[in-house]
Amino acid sequence: GNLGDVVLGYDTIAEYVNGSSYFGALVGRVANRVAKARFVLDGKVYHLYANDGKNALHGGHRGFSKVIWTVKEYVSGGDSPHITLYYHSFDGEQGFPGALDVYVTYELSSPYVLSVRMNATALDKATPVNLAQHTYWNLGGQGSGDVLGNTVQLFASQYTPVDATLIPTGQLAPVAGTPYDLRAPTAVREHLRQVVGGSSNGSTIYGYDINYVVDGDARALRKVAAVRDGASGRALELWADQPGVQFYTGNFLQDVKGKGGRVYGQYGALCLETQGFPDAVNHPDFPSQIVRPGQAAYKHDMVFKFSF
């Protein structure tokens, strides 16, 4: 009977506007990193806003998580309360080509199931699209401490290794025999100190921040991950229809003031961001993220199933 808020966040709009952690963010036009903030599409070079060193991250300086969305539909009661958000992204926004219409619906499809449905239509030019949901989960309750004792299972036999700036090398590597092998339920802390998740002021930051290649049909809704918090007994299952999932363990959280006066420290939550592969626009062998006018729209569905 103990209800808990299991999502990190802020108390005010201003904190979301100014925050740099992407709490709960709806990320786009292209989630994750684009190397050197540039790509070539149909013979033309496009330059993006570099906001992660020399790379573009999560759509640029003012990505979809920093814009005002329009509420198209809102149903607060009934069996499946939901809200549908709409955003029109203009041609050239943050350097991306073409206008784009985006719809995202969040729905409580049953008392313990949250579904998120994302759709995007290219209106006049071909463009890359890779939308993601950047929720920070702490099943013990937001601000209750770290998630190192959580067990995580990822239904992924491969991952995309990265260079020092977290850009994929282009290879798909097996997780077997590496600290990235989470095919069986594994405590987050078990291999954490063997995984480099970045650096800060010259010192190494440990933790996961890597894209996994989800097993199965890359465009079918299938089980991606399972997380369990032993202390509270809460569990989360994630299903989605994307080729990859970014597993991030809150490596860079440091004394962030959150909801209700709670303070979030390092490893205070984990993210499971289903997505296309990072920097796919610069890797022809990766699943394509290009959406073209008059052709199939971009689609990304995910289902979060909670249990106790």
Question: What is the dihedral angle through the alpha carbons of 236, 253, 131, 178, rounded to the nearest 10 degrees?
Answer: -70
Any binding-site annotation on 49? no
Q: How far apart are CA 130 and CA 100, in angstroms?
A: 12
From the list 93, 273, 283, 300, the catalytic residue is 273
273 as an active site residue: the answer is: yes
Write down the residue that tokens 């601000």 correspond to: 143
Secondary structure (3-state) at 16? helix
Any binding-site annotation on 134? yes
Any binding-site annotation on 135? yes
Structure tokens, 261: 């006066």
For 250, counting Cβ atoms within 10 Å of its Cβ (0-12 exposed, 13-18 middle, 19+ buried), the class is: buried
Is residue 162 within 8 Å of 188, Cβ to Cβ? no
Phi, psi of 65 (to 5 degrees): -80, -5
Task: Write the CA distances from 167 to 191, 198, 200, 212, integer angstroms.
Answer: 22, 11, 17, 13
90-109 as b/e: b if 16+ CB within 10 A: eeebbbbbbbbebbbbebee
Question: What is the dihedral angle through the alpha carbons of 33, 35, 36, 40, rounded to the nearest 10 degrees?
Answer: -110
Any binding-site annotation on 32? yes
From the list 73, 88, 107, 134, the catalytic residue is 134
Sign for the CA dihedral angle at 107, 109, 110, 113 comes to: negative
Q: How far apart are CA 166 and CA 159, in angstroms?
A: 13
Sign for the CA dihedral angle at 176, 194, 196, 266 comes to: positive
Number of Cβ within 10 Å of residue 156's Cβ equals: 22
- Active site (catalytic) residues: 134, 273
Which segments are annotated as binding site for beta-D-galactose? 32-33, 134-136, 209
Q: Which positions make up the binding site?
A: 32-33, 134-136, 209
